[in-house]
Structure 1
C-alpha cells in the first residue's frame, strides 16, 4: 500500500445483490435527510439521473453546458460553490480537477456513488517514448510509482497530455523488476474522497472490483453494509457477506443452456477452452470468416430455435471492438454493453447471450501486485457477468434463458448459484 491512512471520511460500501433496493434506499435516505445536508449523486446513466430528479424531493441540479461556452465541468464548480444538491454521471465526475477538490474541501457534501467507477486507466504511450522521457529527465518516477514532470520549459506538443496528468499528481508508472517502464496510468484523484462528509458506494461484490484495489492501494479505509427492506421501507444493516446469501431462488430462475447428445451441433463448443472468447481469443477468431459465422450462427440458433423467442426479448453482448463482427442475425439493435450496470432499461429481456470471457487487464493486475494489492480475477469476472445478467428481467424475479458458451464464465456462474463462491 502507498500509505496507511489518507482520510477520516467515512466510506460505506453498500454491498448487496442487484435488485435488493440499494438505489431505493439512497432515494429514501435523501428524502429523509436533514435540511442542512447536501448531496452529490453520481450514476453511470442519464436515465438514472432523471430517476433521481423525479424521485427525490430535494431540489437537485444537474450540470449543464450553456450557449455562453460554459462547460459541464465549469457548471458543477458553480453548483458546488452555491451549495446545490447535484446529480450527474460517472463520465463527468471522472473529470474532477484541483479546483473541484478545493471547492469540496470548503463544503460539506455527502457523496452517493451508484456503482463503482473506472478509477484507473492506461495512458497510450509506447515503452520507447517512456524510456526517452526518463533518460532525458523529462519525467521522474518516485519509489511509489508517481510520475512528476521536470521539463518546466515545455509549453506544447506531443506530450502535453502526459505533462498535464503528471502535474495534476494523477499519473503513475508500472515498471518491471529491472525498473524498465512498462506502462503509465491515470488514476482518479484520490483526494476527492477526502473532502466529502460521508461516502456511500452502491455495488455488489466490491471485493472483486478494481475500485477496491484502488482504495487499498491508497490506504483508504472503508466498511461494508447491506440493504434490507420490509414493507417498502429500506434500511442499512450489518454486512451480509455474499458467500452467505441464499441463492436457491436464483438457481431456479436462471436456465443455463447445456448441449444435448441429440444436438447435431454443440453450440457451446465455441467456448470449450479456458481462454475461449477472451479479448485475445476473439482477436484470432474474428480474423477468420468461418469462425465469425459459426459464432453468429450459434447465438442465432440459441434464441431462435432453442428458446423460440422474438428478438425484442433478447439481449446479447461481446467486447465492443468485436460487436460488428459477431452480431447474431436479427440482434443488431439488441446489443447491451458488456460492462452495463445500474440501469433498468432492459428488464423486459428474457433471453441473454454472453459472448465474452472477462479478465482484468494483466498489466493493471501486475501494477497492483507490485504494490502488494491483489486483484481477484475470477471474482471480478463473476461480478461483471452478474451485473450484466441483472439488467434482464431476473431483477424482477422472472426466469431467464442464458447462453454462455465460455466454459470459464459458465463454470463461475454455476459455482455462484451453488454457493461455492
Structure 2
C-alpha cells in the first residue's frame, strides 16, 4: 500500500494551488477531489481547465430517480475526474470502494475528514436493536441481520439509517452501550495515491484514526518557486514567514471582559450546560466588545459559540455574523475583521474515552488550537489584513499566543 501523503502546511501556503497545478497536468491520472463545500467544487471545475471535472448530481432515467451516490458510481464507472463533498464521500459503500480500486483513482482530500462520531441512539434502543436486528462480529463491527430480513421482510422502521450504516460496515460499539459511526478505513488503501490537504494534522481525529487502523502516512509540505507550487516530502510543517505576518495582524483583546473565562474549563461545552446563569453575562460581554470597545460595523463582525447555545449568546449588531465553530475551507467570511471566539474546545469525553481504550492519548490542547486557528483563518486575516479578536477563555487565548510565538 502507498502511504497517504499528508500535506501539513499552514493556511495560505498554497496547498490548493499545488493540487490544482498537479491536476492540470495532461496525463493518465484520474482524480477525485473531496472538499467540505459546494462552492469549492465549482471553483475546481472552473480552474482545472486541462481536464474536465464532474460533480455527482441527482438525475432521472427511464422515469426512475437516481441520487448523488448513484451518480458518483456512474462517474467512477466511466473513469471521470470527480469533485464532490465530504458528506457524499462519507456515504461510500462497498460498491464505491470497489470502483475506486478498479479505476485506479488518486484522492485529494481538502481538509481532514470527520471519520468517527457518536450516533444519537438511546441505550435502550441500542439494546433492542442488538436483540432484534444486529450483532457484533469478532473484529468489533456491528452487522445487520439480513438473514432475519429474508424471513420477516426488510426492516422499514425509524432506524433505517442505522441499518444502512451497519450494512456498510460503518458501525462499532463502545463500552457495550454506545454506537459509533466509523468511516471504513480500508478505502484509503484502495487509491493509487492519496493526499490530505490540512494543517496541524497531529491534532486531528483522523490522525488518531489512522494510528488505530495502522494506515501509514507521511508528511509533505508545499514548495513555491515563482508561481509554481508543488508537494515535497518534509518533517517540518511550520511556515515561519506566514506566521510572522499573522502575528503582526492579530490584535487580541486583553481586558476585564476576559474574567468570565479565567477557569481552565470556562466556556467549554460542559460549562455552557452547567453555568446557565452566566449566559447573559457572556452575551453582554460579547455585545460590549463589538458595540462599545470596537464600535465595529455589523457586516465586519464574526463570532461563534456551540450550536445549541447560539440563541443565548446572540445580540444586536453581531447576530448575523455567526460562523460555526467547525467552519473551514471557505473564503465567504474574508471581509470579517472583528471576531469573538466564545468557546473553549475539547474533544468530547466519549471520543476521548474511545481512543483511550485503543491506547491512544488525544492531545486536547493541540486539538483546541487547530480548531481555533482554522476558524480565525476564515476572516480577513487570510488576505493579510488586520483583525481584532476577543477570546474570553484564558486557556484558548494562551494557546493562540503561544502558537504565534513558536518558532519566531
TM-score w.r.t. length of structure 2: 0.92
Verify: 1:169 aligned to 2:169, yes or no: yes
Q: Quick check: 1:191 aligned with 2:183? A: no
Task: Sort the Cα spacing of 1:109 and 1:243 in 2 relative to 1 into closer, same or farther, 3 A.
Answer: closer
Q: 1:277 deviation in Å?
A: 1.1
Equivalent pair of 1:43/1:88 in contact (CA under 8 Å): yes
Decide whether the 8 Å contact of 2:240 with 2:407 is kept in 1: no
Deviation at 1:167, TM superposition (A): 3.0
Q: Which residue of 2 aligns with 1:48?
A: 40
**Aligned equivalent of 1:98:** 94
Matched, 1:236 2:231: yes
> Which shows bigger deviation, 69-78 or 143-152?
143-152
User: Which deviations, in whole Å up to 9, do the C-alpha atoms of 1:355-404 show, x marking residues without a partner?
Assistant: 11111111111111211223221111100000000111111222211100
Question: Given that residues 9 and 193 in structure 1 are in contact (C-alpha distance below 8 angstroms), is that contact kept between their aligned partners in structure 2?
Answer: no
| Residue of structure 1 in register with 2:56 after alignment | 63
Alpha-carbon contact 1:145-1:174 (below 8 Å) kept: no
Q: Is the 8 A contact 1:243 1:419 kept in 2?
A: no
- Residue 202 of structure 1 corresponds to which residue in structure 2? 197
**Residues 149 and 66 of structure 1, relative CA distance in 2, 3 Å threshold:** closer
Equivalent pair of 1:137/1:151 in contact (CA under 8 Å): no
1:4 is aligned to none
Secondary structure of 2:65's match? coil
Partner of 1:284: 274
Tell me by how many angstroms 1:250 deviates: 2.5
Q: How many residues align?
A: 398
1:143 CA drift (Å):
5.4
CA RMSD of aligned residues (A): 2.1
Contact kept in structure 2, 1:253 and 1:394, CA below 8 Å = yes
Q: Helix, strand or coil: the match of 2:385?
A: coil
User: 1:235 offset after TM fit, Å?
Assistant: 1.7
Give the whole-Å Cα distance in 2 for the aligned partners of 1:245 and 1:139. Answer: 52
Is it true that 1:379 corresponds to 2:366 in the alignment?
Answer: yes
CA shift, 1:153, in A, is: 1.4
Secondary structure of 2:381's aligned partner = helix
Tell me the CA shift for residue 295 of structure 1. Answer: 1.7
User: Where in structure 2 are the equivalents of 1:99-138 lying within 5 Å?
Assistant: 99-134=95-130, 136=131
SS of 1:106's equivalent in the other structure is: helix
Q: How much has 1:16 moved relative to structure 2? A: 0.3
| Offset, 1:249 | 3.0
Q: CA deviation at 1:251?
A: 2.2
The 3-state SS of whatever aligns with 1:216 is helix
Q: What is the alpha-carbon distance in structure 1 between the residues aligned to residue 210 and residue 121 of structure 2?
A: 25
**Which of 207, 211, 215 is the matching residue for 1:220?**
215
TM-superposition CA deviations, 1:286-318 (whole Å, max 9, x none) = x44xx3332222112112222222111111111
Which residue number in structure 1 is paired with residue 265 of structure 2? 275
Q: Is the CA contact (8 Å cut-off) linking 1:9 and 1:195 kept in structure 2? A: no
Determine which of 301, 326, 342 is the counterpart of 1:339: 326
Give the drift of 1:346: 1.2
Deviates more, 1:147-156 or 1:339-348: 147-156
Superposition deviation, residue 132 in structure 1: 5.0
- Give the Cα–Cα distance (whole angstroms) in 1 for the partners of residues 165 and 376 of structure 2: 36
Distance 2:95 2:128 in 1: 32
**Most deviating of 216-225 and 185-194:** 185-194
Q: CA deviation at 1:101?
A: 1.1
Residues 266 and 344, structure 2, Cα contact 8 Å, conserved in 1? yes
Q: Indicate the larger mover: 301-310 or 217-226.
A: 301-310
Question: Unpaired runs of 5+ in structure 1?
Answer: 1-7, 176-180, 260-265
For 2:407 and 2:229, how far apart are their aligned partners in 1?
A: 29
- Output aligned runs, 1:231-310, within 5 Å: 231-242=226-237, 245=240, 247-259=243-255, 266-285=256-275, 287-288=276-277, 291-310=278-297
Unaligned runs of 5+ in 2: none
